Amino acid sequence: MNTLNNAVIWIGTGVIIISFIISLVFSKSNKAYMNGFFFCILIGLLLSINGICSKFLFLYSIETCFFIQSTLFLLDLLFWTLFFLKLLKDARNHRIIKILFILTLSFAVYVLYYNSTNKSNLHVLALLNICKTIFCILFYHNLFKNISDQNILLEPSFWIVNGLIFYSCLSIPFYGLSNYILLQFSLLIANNIFSISNMLIIIMYIFFVKAFLCKTHLHKA
C-alpha cells in the first residue's frame, strides 16, 4: 500500500471539501464568471469521491469508475469553456474558445466512449488540460492587451486562472507520458510520480479558495 499516494488523495479530498464549502458560503458575487463556480468544485469533489470509491470499494467496477470519470472530465471542460466565455469579452476569443471546445470535446467523446472505455483515460485528460491551458493563455493575452487600473492581485479571476494553468499545464507531461512512466518505473515510484499531479490539483483548489477570499476582501473594501 502506498501511504504517500493515499495521504495525497485524502488531503486532496479534504481540500476540495473545504473549497466546496467556501464556494457555497461565498457563492453570491457581482462578477458574472463567479456565479456557479461551485459547480466546478462539485465536479472536482465527485471526481475525488469516484477515485476513492474505485480504490477502496472492491464492489465498485472499474467500468463504472471510468464512465463516471470520463463524464465528469467532459462536464469539467464544459464548465471551463462557459467560465472563459463569461470572463473574456471579445468576439475573437469567443470564437477561439468555441472552436477549441468543439474539437476537444469531439475527440475526447470519441476516445472515451467509443475507443477505450476500459483503459486509462489519462491521455484524454492531457488533451483536455492542453485545451484549458490555451484558455488560460488567452486570458493572460487579454489581461496584457487591456490594461486597466484594477489590482490583479484582488481579482478572483487572476487566482482562478493561475490555479488552473498551474495544474493543467504542469500535469500535461504526467498524463501524456503515463504509459512511459508505468513502463519505466516500478509501480511504487510511478504512484509517487502521479501523486505529484494529485498535489497539483490540491494546489489548484488552494488557489480557488484564495480567489473566493479575494472576493470577500473586495466586499469589505
Partner 1 sequence: MQDPSTQGIIIFIAGISFLLLLFISFIVTIVYKYQQKQNNYFKDIEALKTSHENAMLQSQLEIQEQTLQNISREIHDNIGQKLTLAKLHLNTLTYDDKEKTAAQVNDSINIIGEAINDLSDLSHSMSSEIILNNGLIKALEYEENQLKRSGLYEIQFATTGNPVYLESSTELVLFRIVQEVLNNIIKHASASSIQMHVHYNEADLSIEIHDNGKGFNLVENMKGTGLQNIRKRTALLNGNLQISSDENNGTEIKLKIPLYENKPVI
- Distance between CA atoms of 80 and 134, rounded to whole angstroms? 11
| CB 196, min distance to partner 1, A | 4
CA nearest 160: which of 216, 206, 199, 129? 206
- Distance between CA atoms of 47 and 122, rounded to whole angstroms? 13
Alpha-carbon torsion (59, 64, 70, 72), positive or negative: negative
Q: Which is nearer to partner 1, 30 or 186 (CB)?
A: 186
Q: In sequence order, what are the residues at sequence separation of 6 or more whose Cβ sits closer than 8 angstroms to the Cβ of residue 8?
A: 195, 198, 199, 202
Q: Which is nearer to partner 1, 101 or 139 (CB)?
A: 139
Q: Which is nearer to partner 1, 25 or 189 (CB)?
A: 189
| CB 118, min distance to partner 1, A | 27
- Distance between CA atoms of 159 and 115, rounded to whole angstroms? 36
Q: Which is nearer to partner 1, 127 or 190 (CB)?
A: 190
| CB 147, min distance to partner 1, A | 4
Note the residues at the interface with partner 1 (CB under 8 A).
2, 4, 140, 143-144, 147-149, 152-153, 162, 166, 170, 186, 188-189, 191-193, 195-196, 199-200, 203
Q: Which is nearer to partner 1, 64 or 151 (CB)?
A: 151
Q: In sequence order, what are the residues at sequence separation of 6 or more whose Cβ sits closer than 8 angstroms to the Cβ of residue 143?
A: 152, 158
